[in-house]
Each structure stands twice: as C-alpha cells, then as structure tokens.
Structure 1
C-alpha cells in the first residue's frame, strides 16, 4: 500500500479545512447553539422530559447526528468533485495510486473533519444542557461508523454529480428531511401507531436511536438492529465505490 499517496491526499484535504474554518467549524457550531436556544427554550419549556430524560439533553444526539450526516456528505462529495471539476482527478488516476488508496485518503479526511466537528458540538452542547454518556466507547464507535459510512456516501455523490447543484440535491432534499423525521427531536413512540410503523422505513431512525442509546440507554429500536443497519449501509457504500472505480463511472468518462 502506498502510504505516501494516502498521506498526500489526506493532508491536502485537511489543509483545505484550515483555510475554510468559518464554513467548516464555526457555522455548524453556531447552528447548533441556535437549535438549543430555539428548541431548548421554546419547546423545552413545554416538554419537560422524554422517556425520563430532559428534553434539552434528549435532542443532543439528534443534533449531533444531523450535523455529522450533512457535514460528512458535504466534505466528501466536494473533496472528490472539485478534482473532477478542475481536471486534476486525471493526475491522481495516472499516478501510482490505487483506487483504494484514493478512497482512504479522501474519505479518511472527510471522516476526520466530521469527528472533530462532532466533538466540538458535544462540547458546545454541554454548555447548554447536562450530558451523561452511559457508554462512551459505544458512542465513539457510533460516531466513527457514522462518519465513515456517510463520508463514503458523500464520495459516491461527488462522483455521481456533474454540476455543483447536484452536490446539494441529496443532502438538502433527502438526508435533512429524513434526519428531522428520524426521531432527532422526538421519540417515535410519541407518534400515532400508524406513523410509528411508517417511521421504521426511515434508515436515519436507526442511526439516531443507536447513538441516543449510547447516551441514555433509551432508543426507538434495539441497539442490535441499529448496529446492523449502519454496518449494512457501510458495506453497501463500499460496494458501490468499488463498482464506480472498476467501471470508471463518471471518473474516466
């Protein structure tokens, strides 16, 4: 394995983050603070507890997951799309760099950015509400799996997209609504029976539920199902990325 190639791609992508700190870090943290001010104050004053947890603390995992998913997809999709847009992708393809090494470099950088952001958001949330993490190692495991999985998904979007507009279509019109409807700010058990069944078809529900379980040992679905779903998504994304490089889909054409 060409470790120098992986390091070159990885550090180049991380350097781009340092040049855009306001967009990469400050903006999501500000948005999180506003969520706590609005949801914590306005709604939290009317909903005291959800499943025995104060409402402000209850929404922390959902807020972190919302930002992690959108930022992972955004960082990874732009990271691979921009070389396509400028034509520098052909330099990578002609260099002694395998597809796996390129994926590790791009996706690794995007996942690292998301992990840093998630840590900052948890620190920011602790300024507003009391956070208790019942299973810290499981929480970190969920964070890492989520960042890697959705960075891979963003990588797929970046290869698929042939203009800047397409980079935003799926995150804005698909992922964000699914996160809001996936129990980020409420428990699925609060819904009528029919909508509880409909919500089970939302894949984000399993991510939020598993992540929240690592905090408070409560969830809308079992921990085992949540882990199975995210691992299935991870393997599926790996399969799609492998197929894209094998066929040259939107890379060599």
Structure 2
C-alpha cells in the first residue's frame, strides 16, 4: 500500500476545501437555521411531538443525513470528475498507484468534508433545540458509514458523468427526493399503511431510521436492517468501482 500517494491525493483534495473554509462553514449554518425556522417553527408549532420527541429535535438526525449525503456525493463526484475534465487523470493513472489507493485518497477526503459538515450542523442544531444522543457510539458509526458509502457513490457518479450537467443529474433528481421521502422530517409511521409499505423500498429510510435510533432510541425499522442496508450499499459501490478500474470505463477512453 502506497501511503505516500494516498496522503498526497488526500491533502490535495483537502486543500481545495480549506481554501473555501468560510463558505464551507457558513453555508451549512445558514441552511440549518433556515430549516429550523421553516420546519421547526412553522410546522413544529402545529406538531407538538413525534413519538415522544419534540418535533424540533426529531428533525435533527434527518437534517444531518440530508446534508451529509448530498455533501459526500458532490465532493467525491467533483473531486474525480475535474481531473477527467482537464486531463490530469492520465498522469494519475500512469503513476505507480493502484485503484485502491486512488479511491482511498479521493473518497477519504470527500468523507472527511461531509463529516465536518455533519458536525457543524449538529453543533448548530444544539443552539435551537436540546439534542440528546442516547447511543453516541452508534451515532458516530452511522455517520462515518454514511459519509464513506455515499462518497463512494459520488465517486462512481464522477466517473460516469461526461459533463457538468450529468454531474448534478443523479443527486438532484434521484438522491435528494429519496432523502426527503425517506423520513427526514417525519416518521413513516405517520403515513397510511399502503404508503408505509411503499416507503420501505426507499433505501435511505434505513439510514435515517438507524441514525435517529442513535439519538432517541426509536426507529422505524430494525437496527439490524439498517446496518445490513448500508453495508450492502457500500459493498455494491466498492464492486462497481473495482469493475470501473478493471475495464477502464470512461477513464481510459
């Protein structure tokens, strides 16, 4: 394992993040505040509690997941797409590094950025509501797994995309709606039985449910299913990336 190569890629990607640190810090703080104003104040004034938890506190895990998933995808996809766009990807492919070291460098940096955003949102949420974390270890584990798995997914999107429009296509038209419909701001138990069944086909439900359990000890689906879902998604992304580098799909052509 070439740790020097991994560190070089990781530092290069993180430097781009630190050059816009103020924007990276202020943006999630403002967006989180707006969510609490709109959902916490406007809707929360009409919904006192959800499953024994105040509505303002109830939306915190979903809000963190929403931001972490979108940030992990966008950072990883842009990180690998830009070298393709300007042609420097060929220098990387000709260097004495294997695909695993490339993936660890880019995905590690994207996951770190998403984790930073998640921590910022959690700290901002504490200014508005009392945030209780019953299972801090599980919370950290779910957060890390989500950052890594969706950074892998974003890496795949960055390789697949052939222009900047395609780079935003999947996150905007597929991922974001799935997150909003995955119980980010409500419990699926509030839905009619038919729509509860339909919602269970949304993979994001299992991530948000497990993450919310770490906070409040309550979940819409079992924790075992949540862990199985995120483990399966991570394994699928790793397999697809292996196939991409094995065949050279949209990298060497």
Instruction: Say whether the fold is shared (TM-score over 0.5).
Output: yes
Match of 2:222 in 1: 222
Match of 1:6 in 2: 6
Match of 1:115 in 2: 115
- Using the alignment, how far apart are the partners of 1:169 and 1:33 within structure 2? 27
- Using the alignment, how far apart are the partners of 2:156 and 2:176 within structure 1? 17
Does structure 1 residue 129 correspond to structure 2 residue 129?
A: yes
Contact 2:189 2:196 in 1 (8 A): yes
Match of 2:48 in 1: 48
Match of 1:102 in 2: 102
Q: Could you report, residue by residue, the CA deviation over 1:127-179 in whole angstroms, capped at 9, with x for unpaired residues?
A: 00000000001000000000000000000000000000011111111111111
Q: How many residues align?
A: 253
Offset of residue 24 of structure 1: 2.9
Deviating runs (4+, > 4 A) in structure 1? Answer: none
Match of 1:35 in 2: 35
| TM-score, normalised via structure 2 length | 0.99
Matches within 5 A, 1:171-186: 171-186=171-186
- Using the alignment, how far apart are the partners of 1:113 and 1:132 within structure 2? 24
Offset of residue 33 of structure 1: 1.1
Bigger mean CA offset, 113-122 vs 149-158: 113-122
Q: Could you report, residue by residue, the CA deviation over 1:12-50 in whole angstroms, capped at 9, with x for unpaired residues?
A: 000000112244332122111100111110000000000
Matches within 5 A, 1:130-149: 130-149=130-149
- Using the alignment, how far apart are the partners of 1:241 and 1:113 within structure 2? 21
Match of 2:152 in 1: 152
- Using the alignment, how far apart are the partners of 1:171 and 1:26 within structure 2? 22
Match of 1:249 in 2: 249
Question: Could you list the runs of 5+ residues in structure 2 that have no partner in the other structure?
Answer: none
Q: Could you report, residue by residue, the CA deviation over 1:38-85 in whole angstroms, capped at 9, with x for unpaired residues?
A: 111000000000000000000000000000000000000000000000
For 1:60, what is the secondary structure of its paired residue? helix
- Using the alignment, how far apart are the partners of 2:243 and 2:20 within structure 1? 32
| TM-score, normalised via structure 1 length | 0.99
For 1:59, what is the secondary structure of its paired residue? helix
- Using the alignment, how far apart are the partners of 1:14 and 1:145 within structure 2? 19
Calculate the aligned-residue CA RMSD, in Å. 0.7
Offset of residue 211 of structure 1: 0.2
Match of 2:239 in 1: 239
- Using the alignment, how far apart are the partners of 1:177 and 1:21 within structure 2? 28
For 1:46, what is the secondary structure of its paired residue? coil
- Using the alignment, how far apart are the partners of 1:69 and 1:23 within structure 2? 18
